[in-house]
Structure 1
Amino acid sequence: MTTREAQSPSAVIDRVAVLLDAFRNADRLTLSELSRRSGLPRSSTHRMLVQLVRLGWVRRHGHTYELGMKMLELGSLAQHHDRVHRAALPVLHDLHNTTGLVVHLAVLDGTDVLYLEKLGGRFTLAVPSRVGGRQPAHRTAIGKALLAHSRIDPHTILPEPVTGPTPHSINDADRLRAELARVREQNIAHDRDETAIGVSCVAAAIGDSRHTVGAISVCGPTASINTSALTTPVRMAAHATWRHLTGNRVRRPVPA
């Protein structure tokens, strides 16, 4: 491997992955042990460890190293997202088959929504979302469903008025605060042409009065989608997912 190839982003990622994988069957390892297990030169191993310690991915104890809290947090987050995804997937398929519309599963990440799943038909490409993608939460129904049950201050999201992607986008904190209060009261969130003209969505949070683990939304063409008719199916889908996660220990909600 040439020096340029060894310094390429993909090569660096490969070496970091090999180094971190060396911890698979050991809690703590020395520099020599890590070099031997990874097959990397001792000098390269040491340079990477210095950076990983700085980033919090690895923690140093004297002459030994162990995985840092950042790795444990990421692992826990990935496991949590996987549990939510597995619980929601059959519900999402049922909701898509029933409505014929685009269906999303998302979680809140900071002030963005992170999409864990997207199912859809002919209208899929018109909806500006993708699995693993993000959107500002305040511009989407699924994001507003999540923000309404968070402790995030609308003034943190919109410290000053902004111009959104469409004339219908929420562009100031006071309007967002009022919208989130309505979402909490009705347990349903709406987005009508706020992210993209011609696209409207209905969303509900997955959780109870104390915990919110994600949200589900249904999106379709603004010209033909019946948001009132979708309110109950979306609420019930979110509740069914929560039942799966909590072992069916919660009661069915009374449809509004």
Structure 2
Amino acid sequence: MTGQTRRDPRTAVDKAMALLNAFGDEAHLGLGVSELARRAGLSKSTAFRVLAMLEQNGAVERAGTAFRLGPMIQSLGATQESDYLGRVRDAMTPFLADVYDLTRQTVHLAVLQGTEVVYLNKLHGHLHKRMPSRIGGRVPAYCTAVGKVLLSYEPDRVEESISRGLVSWTPNTITDPVAFRREIRHVRTSGLAFDREEITRGLNCIAAPILSGRGKPVAGLSISGPVGRFRPDDYEKELRQVCFAASRAASVVEIDSRPSAGE
């Protein structure tokens, strides 16, 4: 029919499923509305309306100007925790509690899997700000402090992160490959990493590694807080102190930085 828009016969559920499937490998990185609409074969206005409905139900969440899969979908897809990750979480959580006792800020225990950070545990601080981290959740490593400190020991993962694309979550996200490599070199030298509003506006973070007896990272600990009320540099001493003790413990209980085959 000339001059009339052809009606999309798909139901609202069909359109929602098309959008969720459209994320593909970028499920954790996030995609813009225009790209999601193109992949799902929807108009931009329809895609935006359906995404808003999915966001209200926790199926997607905003990542800067983009969308990514939300906590409800991620929890449905969560696999049973491996024995290795369980050992790391159980052995290192007391040190997470030590950081919290010393700082009273929001603290995280996380590991690196591929180019993503997986959060094994988290304690909320008094200066709580909404942030994308959740226990069992994943976020790209390149734009988090704990991710950067773990990437600094994995040059191949650094290059893989760059090849996948350094998406801008906020105006402060480091997206230039040269600048990112320079940042990682500095992190490796100093033993500390910072996230200064790189994954969420208004959020700062500092992180340090927990090392095995072989000098490889087992996990990372981080401290986060809102800009203006939390200065990450003020907590460098406490974080180094706890990570040093945690590294000694990791060596004693023989937690290696690599899980054995099958775990």
TM bracket (short chain): 0.5 to 0.7
When Rg is computed on C-alpha atoms for both structures, the one with the higher figure is 1
Q: Does 1:234 align with 2:239?
A: yes
C-alpha separation in 2, matches of 1:162 and 1:227: 23
What is the identity, as a one-letter code, of the residue corresponding to 2:177?
A
Answer 1 or 2: higher relative contact order, Cα 8 Å, separation at least 6.
Answer: 2
Q: 1:122 Cα deviation (Å)?
A: 4.0
C-alpha separation in 2, matches of 1:210 and 1:97: 26
Q: Does 1:146 align with 2:150?
A: yes
**1:140 touches 1:191 (CA, 8 Å); kept in 2?**
yes
Match of 1:103 in 2: 107
Q: What's the TM-score, normalizing by structure 2?
A: 0.61
Q: Does 1:222 align with 2:206?
A: no
**1:144 touches 1:183 (CA, 8 Å); kept in 2?**
yes
For residue 197 of structure 1, the aligned residue among 182, 197, 201 is: 201
Match of 1:131 in 2: 135
What is the identity, as a one-letter code, of the residue corresponding to 2:237?
T
Q: What's the TM-score, normalizing by structure 1?
A: 0.63
Unaligned runs of 5+ in 2: 1-78, 255-263
Unaligned runs of 5+ in 1: 1-73, 250-256
Q: Does 1:78 align with 2:82?
A: yes
State the identity as a percent.
Answer: 34
For residue 112 of structure 1, the aligned residue among 113, 116, 124 is: 116
**2:129 touches 2:203 (CA, 8 Å); kept in 1?**
no
Q: Does 1:91 align with 2:95?
A: yes
Q: 1:162 Cα deviation (Å)?
A: 4.6
**1:200 touches 1:221 (CA, 8 Å); kept in 2?**
yes
For residue 248 of structure 2, the aligned residue among 243, 251, 255 is: 243
Give matches, 1:167-206, under 5 Å: 167-206=171-210
SS in 2 for 1:197: coil
Relative distance call for 1:103 and 1:179 in structure 2 (3 A) is same
CA RMSD of aligned residues (A): 2.2
**1:91 touches 1:241 (CA, 8 Å); kept in 2?**
yes
Match of 2:65 in 1: none
Question: In terms of mean alpha carbon deviation, does 160-169 or 181-190 score higher?
Answer: 160-169
What is the identity, as a one-letter code, of the residue corresponding to 1:222?
V
Q: 1:161 Cα deviation (Å)?
A: 6.0
**How many residue pairs get matched?**
175
Q: Does 1:157 align with 2:146?
A: no
